Amino acid sequence: MASIDISGVKKVYAGAVTAIHSLDLAIPDGELVVLVGPSGCGKSTLLRMIAGLEAITEGTISIDGTVVNTKEPAERDIAMVFQNYALYPHMTVRGNLEYGLKNRGTPRAEIDRRVTEAARILEIEPFLDRRPRQLSGGQRQRVAMGRAIVRQPKAFLFDEPLSNLDAKLRGQMRIEIKRLQRNLATTSVYVTHDQLEAMTLADRLVVMNGGRIEQVGAPLALYERPETLFVAGFIGSPPMNLIDIDDLRDKGPLALPDGTDLVGIRPDTIQLSPPNGPHLMLEATVELYEPIGGESHLHMRLDGSGQLIVAAVPARTAVTEGGRATLYVSMTDLHPFNRETGQRTD
């Protein structure tokens, strides 16, 4: 168990492509940090630099107070779970679990104890003598996790470990990873592009874009108060509606800071009946009615500007496709942004 400190880390590939621009991040002991962002944002590169699989161009990464820049992955005492699991195909499950321990010269009795323990936790005891190719995707995923936990490393690094699983299994494994991490209280860095996975797993969420950190914080804090336009658009499903301020001026008593030219409205803060307190009132035509189950998504076109807007409303709502709807948004639910700087203005 250990803290991870990343300070001023930069990654420049040959050919002067900068993958990561001077990045700082401190991960305290026992925390599960999720790096999330679109593909090519540098999240995997950052993880691989922590693992030692990628050289650090500038800056330092320390694990447990020791700078590890020049250390081999094995010397960093971290364990990594790969997207395609990277299990050794010619070894049995037991062989896979043992391999790292054997290489470190762990005594036989200790190896057996840890493998048995990990197999019990992950419920893979029945497969210990099988080969990876005889296992299903979910079972392979467990073995990959097992290989990480038998090592009892200072930190777990997860590189999109669930993206090869089907949706249902992904949901199950997500919960298991969270439970496991809680029980073991091992510092973890988890990379994903799936914002649902990111929101549900993270103690702290790091949203990355273009090699830079956009915002760091608790998942709900990021959802409720995105600091940049990118975070506003990336976190939340369906994504936040962004409406030009000029289209809203005559819709209600706007009182937004100077420099605001774009206003964000979360689909789930749009109401169909007037709230108490100051609010906006918008008229729209319903184009598509999308029932999800617990709620329904209304895809509408605003009168005037003709902009598309999405609202998440209770499941059974008395609107029909092609019909009219009046939308209300409380003033406190508005997110003011400046288009130029991409920053929040309040």
Partner 1 sequence: MIENRPFLAFLTHLVLIIGVVIVVFPVYLAFVASTHGSGDFMRGLVPLLPGPHLLENYGFMLNEGISTAGAPPLSIMLLNSLVMAISIAVGKIAISILSAYAIVFFKFPFRLLAFWIIFITLMLPVEVRIIPTFKVVADLGMLNSYPGLIIPLIASATATFLFRQFFLTVPDELMEAARVDGAGPMKFFRDILLPLSRTNIAALFVILFIYGWVQYLWPLLVTTDSRYYTVVMGIKRLAATADAEPQWNFVMAAVILAMLPPVLVVILMQRLFVKGLVETEK
Give the residues lining the site for partner 1 (CB under 8 A): 51-53, 72-74, 78-80, 82-84, 86-90, 99-100, 103-104, 131, 133, 147
Q: Where does residue 235 rank: exposed (0-12), middle (13-18), buried (19+ CB within 10 A)?
A: buried
Q: How far is the CB of 26 from partner 1 (least distance, A)?
A: 23
78-81 and 155-159 as β-strands: parallel, antiparallel, unpaired?
parallel
Q: How far is the CB of 87 from partner 1 (least distance, A)?
A: 8
Q: Which is nearer to partner 1, 90 or 324 (CB)?
A: 90
CA distances from 81 to 51, 201, 256 (A): 11, 16, 46
- Alpha-carbon Rg for the chain in angstroms: 24
Is-contact 245 254, C-beta < 8 A?
A: yes
Q: Tell me if residue 94 falls in helix, strand or coil.
A: helix
Q: Which is nearer to partner 1, 84 or 163 (CB)?
A: 84
Instruction: Identify the residue whose tokens are 């799936």.
Output: 194
Q: Which is nearer to partner 1, 136 or 343 (CB)?
A: 136
Q: 41: closest CA among 223, 195, 187, 147?
A: 195
Q: How far is the CB of 71 from partner 1 (least distance, A)?
A: 11
Q: How far is the CB of 86 from partner 1 (least distance, A)?
A: 4
Alpha helices by DSSP H, listed for the chain, are 43-51, 93-103, 108-122, 137-150, 167-184, 195-201, 219-224, 229-234
Q: How far is the CB of 73 from partner 1 (least distance, A)?
A: 5
Amino acid identity for residue 303 in this structure: D
Q: Tell me if residue 15 falls in helix, strand or coil.
A: coil
Is-contact 235 252, C-beta < 8 A?
A: no
Q: How far is the CB of 102 from partner 1 (least distance, A)?
A: 9
